[in-house]
Structure 1
């Protein structure tokens, strides 16, 4: 009987608790979509940094200089 329960528990995609309760999993949303958005954002930042590094550094330096006086 124990072997049967373990086998059924392995085959059943949800559950796995010994007292028969279903596993409560919070909503994860669209994980592959968020991964794609994160990778695309990192790619855009890399491309912008490669193209306009000098201008971005100058812009940042000028902004800090104007704030600090």
Structure 2
């Protein structure tokens, strides 16, 4: 049960990252290539977090936030 809650929280957090990133990209009038890069970065982070566990989430979160710049 705890594993399911952890997975749900990880997926929810990455969903929030994706929504927040798309809103920022829209406000900055980013190109489609930048939006695609952001989407792929979030998906890559999600896959790595699910594979390696929650302890590495801050590393992957930093990767996402660096793609906003």
Structure 2 length normalisation: TM-score? 0.39
* Greater relative contact order structure (CA < 8 Å, 6+ sep): 2
Q: Which structure is higher in helix share?
A: 2
Query: Which structure's CA Rg is the greater one?
Result: 1
TM-score (norm 1): 0.39
